[in-house]
Amino acid sequence: MRKSLFILLAISFLISSCDDGDIINVELDFDETLSLCGDENSANYVLYNIKNDPYESLTLLFPVSEAETIFNPLISGEERFITINENSVKFNYRTYNGDPEGELICQDIPGSSVAIIKDYAAASGAEAKFTSTFIDDDNDGVPTEDENPDPNNDGDFSDAQDTDSDGIPDYIDEDDDNDNVLTINENPDINNDGNISDAQDTDGDTIPDYLDADDDGDGVLTRNEDENLDTNPRNDLSINNIARYLDAVVADEFIQNELIENSYERAIFVKVVVLNADLSVLSTDFIDFGAYLKKIIIND
């Protein structure tokens, strides 16, 4: 999706002592996807958007120290305002004679083959508004909505389903039943069709393996059928040459109290708008700058 902001601004030019009103058409026709320069070890971040034909950019520079909760919010939907001051926080609209991405945008020492034609900086007092939302997913083969992340549909995930009562809700738990076999390896969606009604159920007790702490129903917990105690029951074979935890005939117990580490992915969407921007060639209350997507892995 692309967005366009058309601003018609009357500017007076002094030509031969005559004051003629000329009209300049400033078209900010950028896509909605922002890119980022810098990381937590840099002095500054630069969020930017570039378009071709003609070559133009919108850039927002701000200190890394100001961004602690922007790219890793504590609460989904968190808002942050940073005031543009033309010094440590800058918002610029620029035009170029070539593609600036590899030459100018992120370079401390700019290349020489591309030059800035026009550079318009927002005056002090404008604000950048950041809204940071996130979506967590354990990528375990079970759709998040089928893991009851919000049983009461009240936006509060604190009462999310937690099958194994380990303090990690199922929707961000790679091993929902704490049996040391990852949920995705217990075939929750055999046909990969998004329907988990046919999930693998080895012992036929109507509890799918990914939620069953004793997959073969032999009375020994799956994680305690780990003969070599390496926290991986899948590589311990019975005399029938199948995994012990899936063989009800074999019920030897090897106490395993160590659990595998859990991790999940968080996709963070940072939506940025610029408020009350005066760029000399345009003045507007609202510029929809775009959104930046960051993905991180969280370990529990």
Q: What per-residue string of b and e applies to 77-107 under the rule 16 or more CB within 10 Å gives b?
A: eeebebebeeeebbbbbbebeeebbebbbbe
Q: What is the four-CA torsion angle of 158, 161, 165, 166, rounded to 10 degrees?
A: -70
- The tokens describing 237, both together, are 């074979």
Q: What is the pLDDT of residues 19-49, one digit of tens each?
A: 334 334 556 678 889 999 999 999 999 999 9
Mean pLDDT of 6-25: 33
Residue 273's pLDDT is what? Answer: 97
The 10 Å CB-count burial string (b at 16+, else e) for 12-45 is eeeeeeeeeeeeeeeebebeeebeeebeeeeebb
Neighbours of 237 (CB within 10 A): 14
- The tens digit of pLDDT for each residue in 239-266 reads 999 999 999 999 999 999 999 999 999 9
User: What is the percent of the chain where pLDDT is above 70?
Assistant: 90
Domain residue ranges of the chain, discontinuous segments joined by +: 2-135+267-293, 141-261
DSSP per-residue codes, 41-66? TSSEEEEEEEETTTTEEEEEEEEGGG
Q: What is the pLDDT of residues 115-150, one digit of tens each?
A: 999 999 999 999 999 999 999 999 999 999 999 999
d(CA 224, CA 244): 10
| Secondary structure class of 144 (helix, strand, coil) | helix
Confidence of residue 16 (pLDDT cuts 50, 70, 90): very low
- pLDDT for 12 equals 28
Residue with tokens 């009350």: 276
Burial string for 251-272 (b: 16+ CB within 10 Å, else e) reads eeeeebeeeeebebebebebbb
pTM passes above 0.85: no
* pLDDT reading at 6 higher than 70: no
Euclidean distance between CA atoms 272 and 274, whole angstroms: 7
Q: What is the pLDDT of residues 41-70, one digit of tens each?
A: 999 999 999 998 889 999 999 999 999 899
Residues 165, 231: contact at Cβ < 8 Å? no
